[in-house]
Homo-oligomer: A and B are copies of this chain.
Amino acid sequence: MRGVGVRLSREIAIIGAGMTRFHHKLHADKTSRELFVKAALEARGSVDNGFELPEVEALFVGNFSSDAFEGQIHMAALAADWLGICPRAATRVEDACASSGVAMNVASMAIASGAYDIVMVGGVEKMRGLRTEEVTDTLAMAADAVYEVGAGFTFPGLFAALASAHFAKHGSNWEQLAAISIKNHHNGALNPKAHFQSEIMETARKLGERNDMTFEDELEFLRSPLNPVIAHPLRLFDCCPVSDGAAVLILAAGDVARKFTDTPVYIRGIGQASDTLALHDRVDLTTMNAAKIAAAQAYEIAWVKAKDIDVADVHDCFTIAELLATEDLGFFPKGEGGLAAENGRTALDGDVTVNPDGGLKAKGHPIGATGAAMAYEIFKQLRGEAGRHQVDDVEYGLTHNMGGSGATVSVQVYGR
C-alpha cells in the first residue's frame, strides 16, 4: 500500500512568491479577490527571468470561509477572473487552517500527474469584516459542530486543553509558552510583512516606561493583568491575532523551472494526514498524530531526517501549537519542546530556527493564506532573501500547516 510516503513522479520547484503584508487594518477597504491579485502580481514580479500570468496553466486557492467572512463562495474561479487568466482551471481547497498548505500538495500532485507544467497556488482570507467575537464563532466551525462547538468549545478552549494536558504529562509550563511568544514577536519585528512588528514588546516597554527591558522584564509583563487570561493557561499573547492577507506561489515542473530562474527552490517532499476532529476521540492530547505521520511522509520522500532541517515555519495559532509541532516534527523529543524554546534552540541562531518570520503569533494568521505564506518564507530563506530575519546556512526548510486542533496537517520539505 502506498500513502505511507507520497512519492511524486516529477520534480516540483517554486519559481516565484509574493505576499501582502498581514494586518488588521491595512486592507480594510479590500476584498479577498483584490488581496489575492496583489499577492499574485508580486509573485509574478519575483520571477527572475520574467513571467506573464497567461503562463499559469491552473490555479489552486486555499480559503477557509469567504462564505462567512464576505458572503462570497467560488473564490478560485473569482481569483482566476480577477487575474484575467480565464479559462484556466481554478480550484479551491479547504481544510480549515491548513487550506493553503493542502493546496500546495494538491498543486504539486497536479504537476506531478503530468496535467500541468506551471501552476499558481496561494491562499487568502479577509477576516476583519467581522467583529472579533464573530470571527471566533466562524473559526469554531472547523471544530466538531456537534460534539465540541455544541458543548461550548471554541479554539482557545481546545488549545488550552492541549496545553494543560502537556503540562500535566510532560512537566512543561506557561513560561515556556511565553518564551515562544517573545521569540516570535522578536522575529516579527524584523519582518516588514508581519502583522505585529515589535508593537507588542514596544507596548510592554511603553507600559514599563523603559527602553532597556530584558527577557525577564518582558516575561513579567506577560504575567501581568495587561496580558489577560483567554482560556487558562493561555493568555492573550499566547494567541495569534486576526489578520487579513494573501500569499501566492508559482510552481513549475523541475524540467521547466530553470527557464524562469537559476535559483528555484524545490519541494523535495510532501505529506498530509488526518485525525479525529473532536479532541475527546484522541488517544493522547499531548501529541498530534497527523503531524507525525505527515512529517514522516515528507521526510521519507525528501530523503532527509528531522535533524537535517535548518529552518521551519510551523503552525503556532497558539504558542502550545508550536511547542507540540517542534516535538511531533522530530526536532526535539516529546516533552522537551518547551525547554528547547526557553533555551533558545529555536531562535534565529538556534539549532533549528522555528518561525523566523514571526509565525502566526506575530506575522498574523489570515486563515486560508497561512500555508502559502509559510512556503513564501521558506522560499525566501532558501534563496537567502529573507532580509533581517535571514537564517545562516540554510540547506533544508520545512513548512507545517495545521487545520483545526490537528485534524488536518500538511508538511512540505524544501531544498535547493
Contact = CB atoms under 8 A, between A and B. Distances in A.
A277 B117 contact: no
Nearest to A278: B81
Contacts of A92: 93-95
A328 to B, nearest CB: 12
A115 B112 contact: yes
Interface in A72-120: 72-74, 76-78, 80-81, 85-96, 102, 105-106, 108-118
B277 A407 contact: no
Interface in A41-69: 55, 57-59, 64-65, 67-68
A277 B109 CA distance: 27
Nearest to A55: B1
Contact of A87 (B112, B277, B290): B290
A205 to B, nearest CB: 39
A42 to B, nearest CB: 22
Given A74-B407, A96-B73, A88 B3 contact: yes
A277 B81 contact: yes
A8 B146 CA distance: 40
Contacts of A274: 59, 76-77, 80-81, 85-90
A89 B73 CA distance: 24
A141 interface: yes
Contacts of A278: 81
Interface in A301-319: none
Contacts of A57: 1-3
Nearest to A81: B276
Interface string A105-141: 1101111111111100000000000000000000001
Interface of A: 1-3, 6-9, 31, 55, 57-59, 64-65, 67-68, 70-74, 76-78, 80-81, 85-96, 102, 105-106, 108-118, 141-146, 149, 272-278, 281, 289-290, 293, 403-404, 407-408
13 contacts: A1-B57, A67-B141, A68-B68, A73-B96, A73-B141, A74-B94, A74-B403, A81-B276, A87-B274, A87-B290, A90-B95, A106-B106, A112-B114
Given A2-B117, A88-B273, 6 more contacts: A9-B9, A67-B68, A72-B141, A74-B407, A76-B408, A77-B403
